[in-house]
Every structure is written in C-alpha cells, then in structure tokens.
Chains A and B, each alone.
Chain A
Amino acid sequence: MSVDYPRYLRNDKLPLYWCPGCGNGIVLKALLGAIDDLRWEKDDMVMVSGIGCAARGSGYVDFHTLHTLHGRAVPAATAIKMCHPSMHVIVFSGDGDMLAIGGNHFIHACRRNINITMVVVNNWIYGMTGGQYSPTTPPGSKASTMPQGNIDSNFDVVELARGAGATFVARGSVAEPALLKNYLRKGLEHKGASVIDAISSCHTQWGGRNQLGDPVQLVEHIRNMTVSRNNADVLSREELTGKLVTGIFHQDLEKKEYAQAYAELSRPVEQNVVV
C-alpha cells in the first residue's frame, strides 16, 4: 500500500530545504511510513527537534511540533511527555544535536526510561554549520575542523544508548529504507525510551571531504558498509571493523517507564489532598 505522504506533511512548506539527495528526507519518509503503519492520529503526536539540518524535519510534519534550541530537544520532549503522558512524543534531530551539545540530556532520558522515541539522524557531521566533526564522525575521515583526518574515537550510538539504560535500541540506514521503517515502527510502539540510530548521508559536508560527494555514491558506500545483525554474528572482530551493523539490538519490557512511575507516585498524594 502506498503511503499518503501529503496527509502527514505541511505541504505549503515544500519543497524540502535539504540538499538534493540528502539522507534526512529518506529518514523522515521512513518515519512517516512507520506512523502510517500504526495509523496514529496526527493530533496525538508531538515531534520535537533541536537545531541542525535534520532538526528541520519537525517543520515539515503536520503534527504538534516544537523546534527547540540546539541540543535541547530531549529535555523539551521530556517535559511534554510528563505533562501529556498520552501523547506520542518523537524526537527527530541530528548526531551533533543529540550526542554532542545534547549528549547529557540524551543519556539521562535513556536512564530514566521515559517513553519517548529518539531518532538520531546520524550523518557523522555537523551538516548545517559547515562540516565540523561530530561525536560520530568516523576516525580518520575528514571534516572542516579535522582537515587531516579525525583523531577522535566515535560513539557507537547503540552501545551508548543501551549502556545508558534505553529499553529499545536499533540501528538502520538510508541505504535500507524499508528496514529502517520497520525499526522505527518498533521503536514508536515500544513503551519506554527508544533510540533509533538512523544512519543518514550528508554528501555535501561529510561526503565531499571524503571522496563521496555524490549522493548516490555515499548511499552506496553506506550500503556496502552495512551488515545485518544476523550476518554479523558469524563474522570475526576483524571482519567487522569498519562495518555498520544494523538491526534491533535491545528490547527490555520489564524496566519501569518514567511517566508511569511518576503517575503512580503522585496518585496517593492527590487522594490524600482530596480526603
């Protein structure tokens, strides 16, 4: 079945601002496809983003939306979830936004296991501001602030989120949009902090500095790097270096969700006041 994308978009905001072939649109489309599968009502969702190219995504969807400050999407989303626990709260923002300036908020939302879906649109770079390296820039690759190659190690978003306590963690990429959509759907459905590391492609800022300045080339590069979780299990550590393992890595249905825990805490107090 075809997805009726115009139904979910603010069509008067089109065409998209992103560069021709930017992966952010593929991630956004996969997210809308996942929402369409779930048949969620537009008015039951809030999409929150920080600042960056990816973060512009919230401006295009016809849900409740909030475009916050750089790095502050997650605390805003936390506040919305606490005030409106019945809302589906989605964070859609970049790797720099979520993991550099917003890294602290990110880990604590995971730790608390608050029921928000965090989509990290991970293009390995600060796209919007001119290609500065981010916490996910692959070691050795070039960025405007690492012209001789990145000397930093990069975060593994899956390990980071799982270690911090998120109860749903998956990774997909723009090279496999249909699978990415499935992971996003599972993450949306999950009741607890869910993190989807959505590997995106910025040919303009990352690709151009790394001989992958064409969008098709960069998506193919990502496709060649990608190994599904099942296939990765049989590969050795050496064989896996430089590979990008995709799939659902973690789901915990036992850990208490934060907004729920808070509601249970406050209920007896409210009763006392009434009595």
Chain B
Amino acid sequence: MAAQQTPVVINRFCTSCGLCVDVCPKNVLELVEDLHVWTGSMCKVARPEDCVRKCRFCEAICPHFAISVADVGVELVFQDSHGQMVTKSR
C-alpha cells in the first residue's frame, strides 16, 4: 500500500525564514502570524491538497530541519535542548 505523504512542520524548529514558502512551486506553504514565538510568525502547511509531494523542495531548503515530507501516520521524533520530545504526525 503506497503511503500517502504530506509536508509536516515542526513548530519548535521553524524560524519563519520563508525559504520553503519561496521555493514551493505549488504555493502550499504560508507564513502565518503566531505571537507565541519570537519571530512572530510560523510556517503553516496551508494547502496540503495542492502539494505535489515528490519535489521536496521545501524539505531540501529548510535550514532548520523544520519541514519534512513525511508519510502520513509516521512520527517525527526529535528531542530538543530543553529535553522535550517533539512529535508531529497526521
């Protein structure tokens, strides 16, 4: 069974630099206001249904390991310097 894939953003790592938004050919990603982080905004997968999934341009350019095109249901597990587990899946 071919797993379905989707871009996933790890919010704690995203610096809102905008590089992924710039390279995405399908305009899937967006920077949205988020006043809980110091950058004041955050990358959001706004239109996942438009993602072509195979290009992975967003993943290749993200300098902060914050966005991956992952199989749906697979958990991305990082432990950051505060010791918290960061998991994200759909």
Chain A residues close to B by CB (< 8 Å) = 2, 5-6, 9, 11-16, 18-26, 28-30, 33, 174, 177-178, 181, 214-216, 219-220
Residues of A within 8 A of B17 (CB): 20-21, 215-216
CB-CB under 8 A from A11, the residues of chain B are: 77-80
| B77 contacts across to A, CB distance below 8 A | 6, 11
List 17 contacting pairs A-B, 8 Å CB cutoff, sorted by A: A2-B59, A2-B68, A2-B71, A11-B79, A12-B79, A14-B65, A15-B80, A21-B15, A21-B18, A24-B63, A25-B62, A26-B60, A28-B63, A178-B60, A216-B17, A216-B21, A219-B61
Q: Is the pair A22, B80 in contact by a Cβ cutoff of 8 Å? A: no
B39 contact set on A, CB distance < 8 A? 20
From B22, B65, B68, B71, A219 is in contact (CB under 8 Å) with B22
CA distance A2 to B75 in the complex (A): 13
Q: Name B21-41 residues within 8 Å CB distance of A.
A: 21-22, 39
Seen from chain B, the residues whose Cβ lies within 8 Å of a Cβ on chain A are 5, 12-13, 15-19, 21-22, 39, 56, 59-65, 68-71, 76-81, 83
Residues of A within 8 A of B78 (CB): 6, 9, 11, 14
Instruction: Give the interface centre of B18, B19, B77, B78 by most chain A CB atoms within 10 Å.
Output: B19
Instruction: Give the 3 A-B residue pairs with the shortest CB-CB distance, closest first.
Output: A25-B63, A21-B17, A20-B15
- For A14, list chain B residues within 8 Å (CB): 13, 65, 78-81
The smallest C-beta distance from A147 to any residue of chain B, in angstroms, reads 27
- Is the pair A22, B63 in contact by a Cβ cutoff of 8 Å? yes
Complex-state Cα separation, A199 to B39, whole angstroms: 26
Q: A29-B60, A177-B60, A215-B18 are in contact. Are A12 and B70 (CB under 8 A)?
A: no
B16, B21, B59: residue with the most chain A Cβ atoms closer than 10 Å: B59
Contact A26 B61 (CB under 8 A): yes
Tell whether, in the assembled complex, residue B19 and residue A219 are in contact, meaning their CB atoms are under 8 Å apart. yes
**For A214, what are the chain B residues with a Cβ–Cβ distance below 8 Å?**
18
Apart from A6-B77, A12-B81, A216-B19: 19 A-B pairs, beta carbons within 8 A? A5-B65, A6-B76, A9-B65, A12-B83, A13-B81, A14-B78, A15-B64, A16-B63, A16-B64, A19-B15, A21-B15, A25-B64, A26-B62, A29-B63, A29-B65, A215-B18, A219-B22, A219-B61, A220-B22
